[in-house]
Amino acid sequence: MTTNRVRKGVIRGRMAASGESYVVAARRMTVPRGSKAPDARTAAALATRYWEPAESLDLPCPCGGTCAPGERCTRCHATYRHAARIPGSDTDVELWQDRYDCTGCANTYSFTVSLPDRPWGAVQTVPQRGGREPIVRIKPFEGIGHPNLPA
């Protein structure tokens, strides 16, 4: 059973999105009757999206995915660390944008990574009548907080 891990991931996602404490987020997470519980893919996406940056560069980055910290800042020569990850595209659910912050000054930079096994949303193909091209809809998973797309 992965239910407990999935649940914790969702709660953490809620905390990060809403600023609620763990207890409050857990209490408010009760799923209304008749609606489906968050699935494992949603939980994986939330875990990819919401985490606290590592306190020390000696520790593995908590993003759990491919990231490349360790660049040196050209201004202060301190090291950059992975600070945040958000959906990095409006059309490709596998693209995420990683932000790196300098640990010594306010310098920051971002770039896009592809995580094929960690999509931030689902792709739905809606068939059209009259032989027209089907419409492709991108739907971010619940709680993902896409910067451009509605939930």
Q: Which residues contribute to the site for Zn ion (CB under 5 A)?
A: 61, 63, 67, 73, 75-76, 78, 82, 102, 104-105, 107
- Three-point CA angle 14, 15, 18, nearest 5°: 75
Q: How far is the CB of 87 from Zn ion (least distance, A)?
A: 16
Nearest distance in Å: CB 52, Zn ion: 11
- Look up tokens 């609620």; give the residue: 20
Smallest separation, CB 137 to Zn ion (Å): 30
Tally of CA atoms within 13 A in the half-sphere of 17 that contains its CB: 19
Least distance in angstroms from the C-beta of 67 to Zn ion: 3
SS3 89: coil
User: At closest approach, how far in Å is the CB of 98 from Zn ion?
Assistant: 7
Smaller CB separation from Zn ion, 78 or 149: 78
C-alpha distances out from residue 31 to 14, 38, 76, Å:
13, 9, 48
Residue 102 Cα distances to 34, 69, 75, 151, angstroms: 46, 10, 10, 31
In the bound state with Zn ion, the residue whose beta carbon lies nearer, of 116 and 150, is 116
List of residues 6+ apart from 72 with CB closer than 8 A: 78, 79, 80
Q: Which is nearer to Zn ion, 75 or 137 (CB)?
A: 75
Nearer Cβ to Zn ion (11/73): 73
Nearer to Zn ion, 10 or 102 (CB): 102
